[in-house]
A and B are shown apart, each in its own frame.
Chain A
């Protein structure tokens, strides 16, 4: 589904990603771990098409299509979803109106009519129940005054609404207490299928107890320095990142 080949990217001449190679197939869950500043969030943003980052070398290919010239919204229409580490507050736009706009813009891009209002409401109700989201919450301004946990839950709600092919969860576990973590993870698991894939970016192995990965990759200085099965996550939790760093140097 997703093929990243020798990806180099950075900001204003500072290279952050140093030749990433990654292949994600439908039905798989990949975890990307690594110390602070290793380039995890940059990788997520580059896949989602953030213009601030310049790709200097390599390719990101989704279903055989090079995404180089695709704007973030086009990538979204092709099925990429990024759950933000820090979701942005948008005062004045309610969660419901935001979702309506997002869904209908995606449908428009696919040449479809707007989703009928009753169908939209049904979908919103269904998905908000999945994530235990209170109705009142839906008429509030997007992320404005939300707690850290509410913001993350809202991200997964958006994911549930948009049903992406490839979901990238950027530190979705940060700021969540254990109950919220369980709800969010549960939501993600319910959305998993043989046709979609998930990339989980995280510092800690904690989230991976709930969203069990097929593969774990360790990112260090903009490169994947180690890949393995889910056991690698436990090993990292135990030993920290230093042994990987040392290994990388050797």
Chain B
């Protein structure tokens, strides 16, 4: 049985464990129908031309973990940003771990999707926001919607800001030979409110894991949201990350994606600007090695006038890794005075590495500033010689140049502890230790 059939038959089992009278279940059923019709995307579709899910569909994934697995904090501490205090929403094999989590209802709600989907007090928010910005066309998103039950639920009321950043961490223990996870996150940040999130998916063994994650983010007027995705999973883990962001007037949302690990990673990052004077920022650093594949698909839809979007993705591709960047910008006819900038720069450090990069601009307004640029290059030999001639060994010199290359993406990271951590991850990935942080 292939994965699609398995998922379809699993849906019946799933239904016996959720409240089928809840209005959300109608959404699930509709989504399941959609997935049944469409199935997994394939390479014939333009958006999936360079990323194949064929081999993943042949894996016999467990759809539901058989048992609840406990983890000791000391064994997984290193995956948290433990240098600072954070709220934590932690899942182990898809199941909420109250032991590892630190949630709150103190003025803000930082808790669980399973509660939000079942408890009446959250119903008004769920009614307004659940599955409202996520796509009903994209088959993997609808698959997630069909199985949506657990994930992070964050509601930040007007004028509030949580005392500390929120970490959303998903662990896979390897108790299943191969496991499929489908977390569903809903994040609502009301007027003048602010939120910082760090998200991580981490497998703890070499058993295969496939995560198909959907996150909906709503940023109301003047809201500020910083979302950091740390993708440094094991070589047997694959991630399809679907993030949908709906922004209102004067809101500022920044998503940083750090892709260092994993086998196959697909990031679908979608911004919808439903207001004026909105700022949307997408930044990414990708550093890949042996047998790794990362595909960044971004979309910014400029729906109203006077908004900005900024995209800056840097990639360093080694060994036989493959990378994809596809940046789509749509500027509606009414969206005059739009400023949309997109930059994708890549360095290939191996003859076997590949990058496919494509800007995709659909501009219907005439008074806009849109720029895009992509480069694919190698490390500058003259610069290497320059550094070496000052006594910096070749390996460190190469690392220093790659560091420098990725540097401006880190500049906008607003959590210093995270910035230091990312610097370390980059140094680690490049196999050097440098005496300073950039």
Q: Which residues of A contact B (CB under 8 A)?
A: 48-52, 71-73, 75-77, 81-82, 84, 87-88, 90-93, 97-98, 100-106, 109, 114, 141, 158, 162
Contacts and interface: CB of A to CB of B under 8 A. Distances in A.
Contacts of A158: 390
A71 B394 CA distance: 9
B382 A102 contact: no
B438 A50 contact: no
A217 B172 CA distance: 71
B377 to A, nearest CB: 14
B431 interface: no
B381 interface: yes
Interface in B28-44: none
Interface of B: 380-383, 385-394, 396-397, 400-401, 403-405, 407-408, 434-436, 438
Contact of B389 (A48, A90, A93): A48
Given A93-B400, A101-B400, A88 B382 contact: yes
17 contacts: A48-B389, A50-B385, A52-B385, A73-B390, A73-B392, A73-B394, A75-B389, A76-B388, A87-B386, A88-B383, A90-B400, A92-B438, A97-B438, A103-B391, A104-B435, A109-B391, A162-B390
Given A87-B386, A90-B383, A100-B435, A106 B391 contact: yes
A52 B397 CA distance: 17
Nearest to A98: B390
Contacts of A77: 391
Given A71-B394, A82-B389, A102-B392, A91 B382 contact: no
Contacts of A75: 389
Q: Chain B binding site: helix, strand, loop or mixed by DSSP?
A: helix
Which interface residue of A73, A98, A104 has the most chain B CB atoms within 10 A? A73
A101 B385 contact: no
A141 B382 CA distance: 17
A50 B394 CA distance: 12
B404 A101 contact: no
A71 B392 CA distance: 10
Nearest to A106: B391
Contacts of A162: 390-391
Given A101-B436, A105-B393, A71 B388 contact: yes
Given A52-B381, A97-B438, A105 B403 contact: no
Which interface residue of B388, B405, B434, B438 has the most chain A CB atoms within 10 A? B388
Contact of A88 (B380, B394, B436, B438): B380
A93 B434 CA distance: 12
Contacts of B383: 88, 90
4 nearest interchain CB pairs?
A92-B404, A92-B407, A76-B391, A72-B388
Contacts of B393: 71, 73, 105
A93 B435 contact: no
Contact of B385 (A51, A90, A91): A51
A105 B386 contact: no
A90 to B, nearest CB: 6
Given A82-B389, A93-B407, 5 more contacts: A48-B389, A77-B391, A88-B380, A88-B386, A91-B407
A82 B436 CA distance: 25
A73 B388 contact: yes
Contacts of B397: 73
Nearest to B405: A92
Contacts of A92: 403-405, 407-408, 438
Contacts of B380: 88
A114 B401 CA distance: 21
A88 B401 CA distance: 12
B436 A73 contact: no
A72 B389 CA distance: 5
Contacts of A73: 388-394, 397
Contacts of B392: 73, 101-102, 105
Contacts of B438: 92-93, 97
Nearest to A96: B436
A76 B382 contact: no
B431 to A, nearest CB: 16
B390 A76 contact: yes
B415 to A, nearest CB: 20
Contacts of A104: 435
A72 B436 contact: no
Contacts of A48: 385, 389
B434 A101 contact: yes
A76 B385 CA distance: 11
Contacts of A51: 385
A199 to B, nearest CB: 14
A158 B408 CA distance: 25
Contacts of A71: 388, 393-394
A76 B389 contact: yes
Contact of B391 (A50, A97, A105): A105
A206 B434 CA distance: 41
B161 to A, nearest CB: 31
Which interface residue of B382, B383, B391 has the most chain A CB atoms within 10 A? B391
Contacts of A88: 380, 382-383, 386
Given A73-B388, A76-B390, A101-B435, A90 B381 contact: no
A105 B396 contact: yes
A100 B390 contact: no
Contacts of B436: 97, 100-101
A72 B396 contact: no
A35 B385 CA distance: 25
B151 to A, nearest CB: 37
A91 B404 contact: yes
Nearest to A45: B385
B223 to A, nearest CB: 31
A41 B397 CA distance: 23
A87 B434 CA distance: 23
Contacts of B404: 90-93, 141
A24 B120 CA distance: 88
A105 B383 CA distance: 17
Contacts of A91: 404, 407
A100 B387 CA distance: 12
A37 B396 CA distance: 33
A221 to B, nearest CB: 25
